[in-house]
Amino acid sequence: MPLLCVDIGNTHVHVALEHEGGFVLPHKIPTALLDDSDRGLRAYVATLPHAPEALAFCSVVPAATPRLHAVAADLGLSAWQLTYKADLGLPITYPTPAEIGQDRLAHAIGASTLYPGRPVIVIGLGTAVTFVLVTPEGGYEGGILAPGPALVTRYLHERTAQLPLVTDLTTPITSVVGKSTVDAIRIGAVIGFAGLIQALLDAVLAEFAARKLPPAEIILAGGAVQVVEGRLRQPVRLIPDLVLRGLAAAWRLNMPANR
C-alpha cells in the first residue's frame, strides 16, 4: 500500500511516498512549517499521484510530534512512530536504547536490510553528524555524534562580533587559500569537516579490524552528503534517503501490530 514516510529533523522534515518498491516525490519541508497549510505536509500530500494509506515517521524533535499527529488526523491517517521498542529486525546492544535517536534507529534498520550479516558504518550528515555502527553479532552497537558543517558556521557567526553567517557549503572550493572572510570560513567548514569525518572513520575501522570483523560497508546518508562526497579515502555508497528506507522496512516489520 502507498506509505507516507516522514523523517522529522531539527532543520527539515524529509518526506516521500513509498509505492511499489520505490519512493515518489521526495521532498523537504522546514520543520517550523510542518503543519503550515500552504507549505507543510498537507500541501505536499495534495501533490502526490497516489493517496497514502498509512504513515510512518521518526522524529528527533519531540515538540513536533504532536503537530505531526494532528496533520495525520486531518489526512485521515494513523501515524506509526519508530521507537526502540518496535521490532527493528536486529538486536540493540547499546546499553541505554531509550537514548538512541529515532533517525539513527532508521539508519540501522536500513543498513541491515541492505547488507544483512555485514558490519555497516552509516555516516548521517545533517545538522549533526551521526555515526551508526551495526555489526552481525551486536546489531545496533552504538555510534558517534559531532556537529555538522552548518552548525560550525552558525556557531562562528553567533559567537564572534564580526564573522558573517556563511550558508553556501556546496559551491566547489578551488583553492585552500581564502581570499575573503567568507572564503576562509567555507574552507574551514568544508575541508576541515571532511577531515573530521575521515579521522572518525579511520578510528572506527581500526577498532573493527582489531575485533577481526569482516570489512565494513560504509554509507553516507542525509542532506549534507555533498560536503563529504569524494573527499574520503575509503569507497562509500551514497544513500541520502536511508532514513526513509529504514522507516518503510520497520513499518513492514511492525505492520500486524498497527492494524
DSSP 80-137: EE--TTS--SS-B-SS-GGGS-HHHHHHHHHHHHHSTTS-EEEEEESSEEEEEEEETT
Single out the catalytic residue among 74, 103, 168, 183.
103
Closest CA to 79 of 101, 109, 96, 102: 102
Active site (annotated) includes residue 103: yes
Distance of CA 250 to the CA centre of its chain: 15
Separation CA 24–CA 117 (nearest Å)? 29
- Is 108 within 8 Å of 93 (Cβ atoms)? no
Separation CA 111–CA 104 (nearest Å)? 10
Closest CA to 155 of 171, 168, 166, 145: 166
Separation CA 152–CA 34 (nearest Å)? 25
| Amino acid, single-letter form, for residue 95 | P
Separation CA 192–CA 208 (nearest Å)? 25
Question: Mind telling me the catalytic residues?
Answer: 103
